[in-house]
Amino acid sequence: MSGAINWTALSVFVFFFLLITIMGFAASRWQSRGSKRSELDEWGLGGRRFGTWITWFLVGGDFYTAYTIIAVPALVYAVGAYGFFALPYTIIVYPIVFAIMPKLWEVAHRNGHVTAGDVVYATYNSRPLELAVAVTGVLATMPYIALQLVGMEVVIQALGLQGEIPLFAAFVILALYTYSAGLRAPALIAFVKDLMIYIVVLAAVVIVPMKVGGYGAVFHAAAEGYKAKGSGSLILSSAQFLPYATLALGSALAAFMYPHTLTSIFAAKSPNTIRKNAIYLPLYTLLLALIAMLGYMAYAAHLKVASPNQVVPALFESLFPSWFTGFAFAAIAIGALVPAAVMSIGAANLFTRNFWKAYVNPQVTPSSEAKVAKVVSLLIKLGALAFIVFVPTKFAINLQLLGGLWILQTLPAVVFGLFCRKLGGRALLLGWLAGLIYGTWTVFADGIKPVHTLMGLTVYTGLWALILNVIVVIIAQLVLGKNAQSAPARA
């Protein structure tokens, strides 16, 4: 990565970036319902009319982000097989989606809920619990958006563009078409993004091994690379089995608690749409496995990088013609725009429905809700941009780790009420608070690490916190009895 501008790659990159920008603005009239276009249901959920294929691309766009394409190979490059925990995680998650999300969709659709906070308040009639879920969702999403911009920043720098102006320009484009078209913009762009990503990854896993002597040479070079630096390996050690498995399980439980993934679920037109997606979405796991392999290929290509995050850009720069490098970098950048847009919309929906409407203006109209959400989505993206510009990237990564732990603590409040109506809002709030405090304290006490050893077992810290959360909920429910409920459940 020389730092000189690659004009051919940059030209291809700009062409595709302009293409999706035009699509983003054009999306404002796609599947819209005329007079209702200004309402939050239309702007924030696309009118709740996305079918199987649109939902498939949208959820895939949420799940497989620019930072995923950069970070997963970087993790594999740095630590070896342990970085592959993302594969079982994305396998485990879809049976969870199949079992839980259609029921959650039915509750939301029947009652006009837009966010998880809406569902929680209607179930438990607890404003504090609703606010806890909403605040957790917004805080967990902010560093996630920032990391999408990190992924974009990596490829922009690889093109030879320095400074913050290119990233700022990309942010402005994202902000404007999201403000204009809402959820329809990332839904439409996701078609192009996913097609480009598939082309890039399939080309890489075929061409790179051909250029370095085949997959045998790839695995041999990776094994020698890990041996030389004294860390990492091609297979897990026995001590890594439990941390690996619990990271996968905890990540799967947390994945669809995030505001952006729930937004995509609520935007589907039927519960069967969600069930079909749970069946088809594992195809993305195959793609993720191929993406992760790029971390091994970097050793066979004898790359020298200052940071593991540079592995994927350096691989394309060194082994592919400039025009394809530009195409690959455009795919990664567009892969940042889709989830960043949905994340900002999901967080804005939470603020609007579960803070603004709940505490500031209970009589707010649907069109005014949409206006508030549009402004908040801009502020959220601006905050994420400021985070990247002024705060070290490592801090954003650490916060994203905490974000996964935090959002996992909302699972009892959001999900348990779908299957058990005996729990009360006060008990669930105490469980959420216990899990949040214990998990956050433990992560910092361990030096910002994702796993914690307790009773001789090394387990994902978020899962330890969730276990404590559930235990506190059960004990609080038994102690408080009927007083655990804020009021009779309403939905």
pLDDT at residue 61, as a whole number: 76
Alpha carbon 274 to chain centroid, angstroms? 18
Helix, strand or coil, per DSSP, at residue 467: helix
Structural tokens at position 254: 């947390």
Helix, strand or coil, per DSSP, at residue 460: strand
pLDDT at residue 486, as a whole number: 60
pLDDT at residue 101, as a whole number: 95
pLDDT at residue 491, as a whole number: 40
pLDDT at residue 252, as a whole number: 92
Long-range pairs for 306-311: beta carbons < 8 A, 24 or more residues apart: 307/74, 308/74, 308/75, 308/77, 308/78, 309/70, 309/71, 309/74, 309/150, 309/154, 310/1, 310/154, 310/158, 311/73, 311/74, 311/77
In sequence order, the β-bridge partners of residue 80 are 233
Q: Phi/psi of residue 454, each to 5°?
A: -140, 130
Rounded to whole angstroms, how far apart are CA atoms 138 and 141? 5
Q: Please report where in the chains the tokens 């935090």 appear, as a residue.
A: 406
CATH for 7-411? 1.20.1730.10
CB atoms closer than 10 angstroms to residue 287: 20
pLDDT at residue 396, as a whole number: 62
The answer to whether the CB of 428 falls within 8 A of the CB of 128 is no
Rounded to whole angstroms, how far apart are CA atoms 381 and 264? 19
Dump the DSSP string for 285-301. Answer: HHHHHHHHHHHHHHHHT
Q: For 417, what's the count of Cα atoms within 13 Å in the CB-facing half-sphere?
A: 28
Helix, strand or coil, per DSSP, at residue 459: strand
In order along its 491 residues, the chain shows pLDDT tens digits of 556 788 899 999 999 988 888 888 888 666 665 545 568 888 888 888 899 888 988 888 777 777 788 888 988 998 899 889 888 988 899 999 999 999 999 999 999 999 999 999 999 999 999 999 999 999 998 888 888 888 888 888 888 887 777 778 888 888 888 888 888 888 888 888 889 988 998 999 999 999 999 999 999 999 999 999 888 889 998 999 999 999 999 999 999 999 999 999 999 999 999 999 999 888 888 888 888 999 999 999 998 888 888 899 999 999 999 999 999 999 988 888 888 889 999 999 999 999 999 999 999 888 899 999 999 999 988 888 887 777 766 666 677 788 899 999 999 999 999 988 788 899 999 999 999 999 999 999 998 888 999 999 999 999 999 999 999 999 999 998 766 666 544 44
pLDDT at residue 473, as a whole number: 96
